[in-house]
Structure 1
Amino acid sequence: MTIGHHLRELDGLPAFDFVSSEAGRTELPEADAVAWRIAGSSYGDDVVWEEAFARFTEAVDITRVRALIVGAWSDPFEGGPDEVAAALLAARDRLPALRALFIGDMVMEECEISWITQGDVSEFLNAFPLLETFGVRGGTGLVFPAIRHEKLRSLTVETGGLPKRAVQGVAAGDFPALEHLDLWLGTSEYGGDSDIADLAPFLAGTRLPALRSLALRNSQLQDEIAAALAAAPVVARLETLDLSMGVLSDNGATALLGGQPLTHLKKLDLHYNYLSDALRERLREALEPAGVLLDVDADDADEGHLDHDGTVWRFVAVGE
């Protein structure tokens, strides 16, 4: 499975595509009513992102803009969003209301998720200290050093392979207001070289004091993660736990069920999985009577592929 549609909302605001060629010809929404999506051409033969953003700043009162979605920039296969960063940093004093930012909202026709080149995304967080929601798509070249950000409430990193150093950087960061963390860990084939030890700071519950929603998903380590969460201190203070989109099997789910109670959760998301019907039923019987919103739908997960030597290969939901 790949990314087939653009973001439909950001931080509770509906996404709206700013089409620079139509600016001034069509009625635009109020500046603070939508999450504005600014996109160029990923092949560099049509709209240049920086030019589209410049026209956006002329057409919209950006002092009132609350949310921005950065779409394709020129040649994301080879280069990161350096020009995007330069344009946003140059305009930051004119964006005092900005509270939500997403970098890299591209679908497969523009650039596959594991081909999107990123860079040091901490410059966006450092430039906008009042940001409450930040997201990024693409793991190639992604750098996420340990930083402190006072206001960030939601952090999402979507990849087909999240580099070990980026995982470690997020884990070592200081985010006192962070309530929601969503990491797509991916696979080693696409650069996802972290292991269960790199996730220990998230599981220990000693960091991220405001955390209430934890998603460690789209992972080839899903069984190991589930087993670790069975006794992880962080679980007791979560409202939502998301282990979806990976290669979760009966082994991981059984370990999770056999660990600490999960009945305090408001939601447990396991969709896209390799669970047996019997295990799905066990989960329902254990959690749904307690009011836990449970998603154990297998979605598009196949049965895995059997190699000639008997090895079963299973795949995360979003890889390439």
Structure 2
Amino acid sequence: MTLPDDPSAVAWRLEVEDFDADPEEFAGLVTAMREQVPADAVRALVIGEWGEAYERPLPVEALVEAAGEWTGLRAVFLADLTYEQCEISWLTHGDITGLLAAYPSLEVLWVRGAQGLRLEPIRHTGLRELQFESGGLPAGVVRAVGACDLPALQRLDLWLGRQDYGGDAGIDDLAGVLAGAGLPALRHLAVCNAEIADAVAAAVATAPVVPRLKALDLSKGVLTDEGAKALLAGQPLTHLARLDLHHHFLSEETAASVVAALPGVEVDLTDRQVPDEYNGRVYRFTAVGE
């Protein structure tokens, strides 16, 4: 392994070459990195293919075992795979709570995929960004995030997805996040890629967390005129710097009314969608599913 001049200035990527690699191969990569890279130089990790990602959980235990050495680790991206390697809804995880517990100074955690994903409520004083990218986020994970105590968290992204890909979270499951009791520093909230986008918008309209936000992201979902009108009928949103609604199903009239109601707010209404119709039924889809 050839080290860069400043090994602490890069994000280290761990990835096996074969999608059906033996489980020990990924563990061997972690061991090799622990042996060859100065521990204090490991600041950011990107985890790619670990072998049969479509059915074998990402082995976070190998990262947990290194926590005593990688005390400078500040950012982790789990499952940075493209759809050509594995569809997002097939990416398999287990319980990631131990990773957060092992790295109390971790500041950024991004997770792609949510099949089998689990999280227990935890207090973590270092985390500033938490993002779950999924075609279907389990309700249990959503509830756990809302029950966490994350005093430093400034950005939270939840891609709820679709029920047929495991996105079974309802509005009640979002209650803790929208109340924001454990998220006092939150400034950017994304509850996006949601099949239940209209219900999310209606809940956000009265959510206690909203007044402290600078950016609100309800994009990539199936937001219709009903949801947009409920959002505007709620608490003021003029304090926002940005409202992201791209990939939506709003009429031109309703889209114009959103912009008019929020002078000074950057509103993203790009990527307007048209519903599909088949056998007299109307179908709307999130931007990210399978």
Give the 3-state SS of the residue equivalent to 1:68 in structure 2: strand
- Equivalent residue number for residue 56 of structure 2: 79
**What is the CA-CA distance between 1:38 and the residue it aligns to?**
1.7
Which of the numbers 272, 276, 282 marks the counterpart of 1:312? 282
- Equivalent residue number for residue 181 of structure 2: 206
Cα deviation per residue 1:65-119 (whole Å; 9 max; x = unaligned)?
211111110111111022xx23222222221110111111111111111101100
4+ aligned runs moved over 4 Å, structure 1: none
Aligned partner of 2:188: which letter? S
Which of the numbers 253, 256, 266 marks the counterpart of 1:293? 266
TM-score normalised per structure 2: 0.94
- Equivalent residue number for residue 76 of structure 2: 101
1:29–1:183 Cα change, 3 Å: farther
CA distance in 1, matches of 2:128, 2:144: 17
| 1:132 aligns to 2:102 (yes or no) | no
- Given that 2:161 and 2:193 are in contact with CA atoms closer than 8 Å, whether structure 1 keeps it comes out as yes
1:201–1:86 Cα change, 3 Å: closer
- Equivalent residue number for residue 20 of structure 2: 44
Cα deviation per residue 1:139-184 (whole Å; 9 max; x = unaligned)?
1111111111121111111111111111111111111211111101
- Given that 2:225 and 2:251 are in contact with CA atoms closer than 8 Å, whether structure 1 keeps it comes out as yes
- Equivalent residue number for residue 68 of structure 1: 45
CA distance in 2, matches of 1:100, 1:259: 36
1:29–1:318 Cα change, 3 Å: farther
How do 1:144-159 and structure 2 match up within 5 A?
144-159=119-134
Identical amino acids, percent of aligned pairs? 47
- Given that 1:100 and 1:134 are in contact with CA atoms closer than 8 Å, whether structure 2 keeps it comes out as yes
Give the 3-state SS of the residue equivalent to 1:141 in structure 2: coil
- Given that 2:135 and 2:162 are in contact with CA atoms closer than 8 Å, whether structure 1 keeps it comes out as yes
Cα deviation per residue 1:26-60 (whole Å; 9 max; x = unaligned)?
x6352221222221135225993333333434443
How do 1:1-320 and structure 2 match up within 5 A?
23-24=1-2, 28=4, 30-41=6-17, 43-45=19-21, 48-82=25-59, 85-287=60-262, 289-290=263-264, 292-298=265-271, 302-308=273-279, 310-320=280-290
1:42–1:281 Cα change, 3 Å: farther
Aligned partner of 1:295: which letter? D
Cα deviation per residue 1:195-229 (whole Å; 9 max; x = unaligned)?
11111122223331111111100110101111111
1:204–1:67 Cα change, 3 Å: same
1:140–1:29 Cα change, 3 Å: farther
**What is the CA-CA distance between 1:304 and the residue it aligns to?**
2.0
CA distance in 2, matches of 1:59, 1:206: 43
CA distance in 1, matches of 2:273, 2:243: 21
**What is the CA-CA distance between 1:256 and the residue it aligns to?**
1.0
Give the 3-state SS of the residue equivalent to 1:94 in structure 2: coil
CA distance in 2, matches of 1:165, 1:304: 30
CA distance in 1, matches of 2:17, 2:82: 12
1:281–1:131 Cα change, 3 Å: same
CA distance in 2, matches of 1:53, 1:118: 18
Deviates more, 1:222-231 or 1:275-284: 275-284
- Given that 2:218 and 2:244 are in contact with CA atoms closer than 8 Å, whether structure 1 keeps it comes out as yes
Give the 3-state SS of the residue equivalent to 1:125 in structure 2: helix
- Given that 2:16 and 2:49 are in contact with CA atoms closer than 8 Å, whether structure 1 keeps it comes out as yes
- Given that 1:223 and 1:251 are in contact with CA atoms closer than 8 Å, whether structure 2 keeps it comes out as yes
Give the 3-state SS of the residue equivalent to 1:156 in structure 2: strand
Aligned partner of 1:240: which letter? A
